Amino acid sequence: MQDLQGSLSSSRAYWPSKSVIAWNIDIGDGSCYLYASQNATLNVTDAGIQGHDQKIKLEKDEGGLPSNVMEKFPHIGGYRAFKVPSLLDVQSLLKCQLAVAAFSADGHCRNATGLQLPGVIDELYGYDGPLGAVFSGESISLHLWAPTAQAVSASIFREPSGDEPLQTVQLKESSGVWSGVGPRSWEGCYYVYEVTVYHHSTLKIEKCTASDPYSRGLSANGRHTLLVDLNSDDLKPEGWETLSDEKPNLPSLSDISIYELHIRDFSAIDPTVHPDLRGGYLAFTLQDSAGVLHLKKLSAAGLTHVHLLPSFHFGEVDDDKTKWKSVDHEALEKLPPDSEEQQAQIAAIRDEDGYNWGYNPILWGTPKGSYATDPNGPCRIIEFRKMVQALNRIGLRVVLDVVYNHLNSSGPFGVNSVLDKIVPGYYLRRDADGAIENSTCMNDTASEHYMVERLILDDLLSWAVNYKVDGFRFDLMGHIMKHTMVKARSMLQALSKSKDGVDGSSIYLYGEGWDFGEVARNARGVNASQLNLGGTGIGSFNDRIRDAVLGGSPFGPPLQQGFVTGLSLQPNDHDHGDKANADRMLAVAKDHIQVGMAANLRDFLLTNCDGNQVKGSEVCTYNGSPVGYATQPIEIVNYDSAHDNETLFDIISLKGIPFFHAGDETLRSKSLDRDSYNSGDWFNRIKPRLANPSFKPNKSHIVAAVENFTNLLQIRYSSPLFRLRTAKDIQVNSKDTIVRESKYDASSGCFNVPARTTAVFVEPRKT
C-alpha cells in the first residue's frame, strides 16, 4: 500500500458534474467515499480520512462518464465514474475542504486525494449577470463571483495607499455572487476584497486580499481597485464620442498591415519628447516628435495598424517611477561595442528599471500605470484614450496585445495573485495531480471553464467599447479554446456605431496559433491552433513563410539559411548538408513561400518543386503539419520577425496580412538578444547595435532601408491584386500579373517604383 501521508495536497480526482465524480482508480470490490470539512481539518490515517464533517458513500457507475463530461474534459475520458447521491447539498460542500478515499474490500484505505472542482462549479454557478462595480443613479453596487467562498467583505478607502478604510462592507451571497451597495459618494475611492475561502495549495481556510477581477481602474501597482465610471464625461478627451466617425478608412480586413510596437520603445530615449512623457501613452499625442513623424510617414505609405505590446496591468515594472533604477546610457556609449560591461550593468538592475515587454498579466481590464503620468486615479484611462485618438488621427488603427493564456501569480498570498485568491483552483488549468500547468511559462489559464471564458469576453468588450481598440493580438492563442475565440469574434463583429459607438465589423482578431503543451492535439478540447481556425475569420501568424524566408526556425540551428539569408546566393556551409540537400531545402522553401504569398490557403493550387500540381495542404509538410491550412486570406498573418526573437537585421547579419516589428525598417538591432523582454531600454531601443563594424549600418543604409520599407507598403496598396479578399480571387488571379519594372538603384540603395501601369492601380492611402 502506498504511503498516504500528505496525499491530500494532490488533486487527482475531478468533480466534473454534480451527479458524478471521476477518478483514475480501479477499486475492484472495494468502496469509495467523499469527505468534507468546513474548517479544513481533513487528514489521512491508515484507517482513512479523519477530521470530516460529512462522509458520503459514492457508488461505481459502470456506464462510465457522461458524454457531456468527456466532451468538456477529454483528458479524463478514461477515468472511472462514481455516482454522487442525488439529494446531496452540493452547493454547501463546495465551500469545504473536500477529498475522496478508496478502500479495499477488507476495509483498508488504499488511496486518497483532493478534488478539482471547475466542472461542477460551472454546472451550478455559471453566471451572466453584473460583475464588478455598477454605477446607477445615486448608488454603486459591487458584485464578485466567488461561489466557493465562505465570506466576502469589501473595504473602501479614500486614498490609493489604503491605510485606514472609510468603511468595511460585508457582502451577501446569492447563487455564488457576493454583492453590496454603497452611496455614489464612493466614486473616486478605492476598494479591496477580503475573501475567506479554502485554498487547495495550503489545505487551509485562508483570508485572501485581492483587487476586483473586473477592475476598470487601479491604484499604483494594482493594490486597490479604483471606483471609476468609464462613461463619465470627465474621463473622455475632447472629441472622444465622435472618434468612431474619424477612424481611418478600412474597406476590408484584407487591407490590413500591422506594425508591432512597444509603448516604451517608441519614445523612451527620444530627445524630441518631453522627459515627463517619454515611454508613456502621451508621447503618441505629440504631433511633431521624431517618432510620430516616422509613424506619419509609414501611414502615408499605407500602413494601417499599430500593434501595441501589452498595455494592461502587468507585473515586474513598478508603477511608481521614483523607484526605478537606470544606467548611464552616455557611459555605455563610450564602451567598446563588444564589451560585456553593457550587459552586466543592465542585468544588475533589470528587475528594478522601467522596462518589460508585459507578458506577465495581473489584471486584464485596466491600462498599465507605469505608462501614465500618474498611476493613481483616472489618469491612465484618460491618457490611454488620448493615445488611441492620436494614432487614429494620423491614419493608424490600434491593436491591443492581449495575454489571456496565463497569469503572473497564483496562490493565496502573492501581491500579484488575484483570480486564484477569489476562486482557488478554478481559473488556472491543472494537471492530473492538481498542479498548475506552466507550458505557456507560468499559471496557464483555462478558457474551457465557463467563467474564465466570460471574463475574457467581457474584457475584450470593454477594450473595444470603452477604449475603441480596433483589433486584438492573442498571445499563445492556441492555449485558448476555439469556441472562446469564435464567440469573441462574433461578439465584437456585432458591435455597431448606433448602439455601441463602435463599428465591430472592422475589428480584427489574430494571434499565435501554436499547438503545444497540455492543449496539444485538442487534449483539453478543440483549441485555437492553426489547423483548427480555418473558416473562423481569425488570423494566425504564418511560421511557414517566416522559416522559409529566414531559414531554420527560432529554435533550430542559428546559422541555417533561408531564401533571403543567403541560401540561394551565398551558402555559408552550415547546417545544410551537401549541395544537393541545400538545393532541395531551397526548392522546398520556395514552395512554402509561394503558398504563403497565396495566404497559406489549403486549397490553393500550385506547381511544386517536383513539377506536380498540388494543393497548399499537400505541399511538403511543415514539422508534420500541412503548409497550407487557411480558407480565406484574413486567416493568415505573414511576418518574418517579431518582438520575441532576433530582429530581422540581426538574423540576416547572423546568417497574406503583412506584420512588421518596429525598427526592422531602420535596421534595428538588439545585439542578437532574442528574448529581450527584460533587457532594458539600451538593448531594446530602436537603433542598430552590433559589435562588428563591417556589419554596422551608416545613416545612408538606414535611410535606404526606410525608403525600401515604405516602397513595399506603397506597392502593397498600389493594387487590389495585393489585397485579394477571397480564396477564389487568389486562385483566379494567381495566373495573372501586373506588368511593372521595379529597378534597384545601387547608388541610393532603393527600389524605384514606376508610375502606375494598369487600370487596377490605386493610390496609396493618405492621412
pLDDT reported for residue 708: 77
Cell of 492: 465584437
Domains of the chain (ranges, CATH numbers)? 7-121 (2.60.40.1130), 125-234 (2.60.40.10), 542-741 (no CATH)
For 69-87, how does the pLDDT look when each residue is reduced to its tens digit (9 = 90+)? 999 999 999 999 999 999 9
Residue 750 has pLDDT above 50, yes or no: no
Task: Write the pLDDT tens digit of every residue in 443-455.
Answer: 999 999 999 999 9
Residues 419, 245: Cα–Cα separation, whole Å: 37
Q: Is the pLDDT of residue 201 over 80?
A: yes
Q: For this structure, is 123 an active site residue?
A: no
Q: Which of 260, 401, 512, 591 is catalytic?
A: 512
- The SS3 of residue 336 is coil
Average pLDDT of the segment spanning 535-563: 84
Give the confidence band of 333 by pLDDT, cuts at 50, 70, 90: confident
The percent of residues above 70 in pLDDT, for the chain, comes to 87
pLDDT band at 552 (very low <50, low <70, confident <90, very high): confident
CA-angle at 274, arms to 269 and 276, nearest 5°? 90
**What band does 691 get if pLDDT is binned at 50, 70 and 90?**
low
- The single residue listed with the C-alpha cell 453566471 is 127
Cα–Cα distance for residue pair 662/667, rounded to 1 Å: 10
677-702 average pLDDT score: 57
- How high is the pLDDT of residue 690? 45
Of the listed ranges 64-73, 595-604, 706-715, the one predicted with least confidence: 706-715
Residue 343: which residues within 8 A CB-CB, separation 6 or more? 683
Predicted confidence (pLDDT) at residue 12 exceeds the cutoff of 50: yes
Indicate the pLDDT class of residue 67, thresholds 50, 70 and 90.
very high
State residue 729's pLDDT score: 83
**Bigger pLDDT: 460 vs 747:** 460
Note the pLDDT of residue 48.
85
Residue in the block written with cell 517618432? 291
**Taking residues 554-582, what's their average pLDDT?**
78
pTM: 0.89
| Beta bridge partners of residue 145, listed in sequence order | 177
Give me the mean pLDDT over the 62-73 stretch: 95
pLDDT score, position 460: 98
Question: What's the whole-number mean pLDDT along residues 605-620?
Answer: 92
**At 762, is the pLDDT very low, low, confident or very high (cuts 50, 70, 90)?**
very low
Per the residue annotation, which of 437, 475, 547, 618 is the catalytic one? 475
CA separation for the pair 494, 500 (Å, rounded): 9
Q: How far is CA 578 from CA 387, 583, 620, in A?
A: 53, 9, 20
CA distance to 375, 476, 737, 753, per residue, from 741 (Å): 53, 40, 12, 7
**Residue 343 main-chain phi, psi, to 5 deg:** -65, -40
- Beta carbons within 8 Å of 691's beta carbon, 6+ residues apart: 336, 337, 338, 671
Rounded Cα distance between 158 and 180, Å, is 18
CA 191 to CA 142: how far, in whole Å? Answer: 10
DSSP 765: P
Grid cell for residue 358:
508585459
Q: What is the pLDDT of residue 324?
A: 92
Please tell me the distance from the alpha carbon of residue 463 to that of residue 476, in angstroms, as a whole number: 19
Residues in the chain: 767
Q: Could you read off the pLDDT of 621-675 as tens digits, one per residue?
A: 788 889 999 999 999 998 876 656 666 666 665 547 544 555 555 554 544 454 5
**Pairwise CA distance, residues 564 & 642, whole Å:** 17
What span, in angstroms and rounded, lies between the C-alpha atoms of 558 and 617?
A: 28
For residue 686, pLDDT over 50 is answered with no
SS3 content of the chain, % helix, strand, coil (to 5): 30, 25, 45
Q: Which of these, 538, 560, 536, lies nearest to 550 by C-alpha position?
A: 560
Q: Is the pLDDT of residue 352 over 70?
A: yes
Longest CA–CA separation in the chain, Å:
91
Q: What is the pLDDT of residue 696?
A: 66
What pLDDT is recorded for position 349? Answer: 86
Average pLDDT, rounded, for the chain? 87
Confidence of residue 47 (pLDDT cuts 50, 70, 90): confident
Amino acid at the residue 393: R
Is 512 annotated in the active site? yes
- pLDDT tens for 356-410 read 999 999 999 999 999 999 999 999 999 999 999 999 999 999 999 999 999 999 9
Residue 733 has pLDDT above 70, yes or no: yes
Q: Which contiguous run of DSSP H or E holds residue 555? A: none
Question: How confident is the model over 131-143, as a mean pLDDT?
Answer: 97
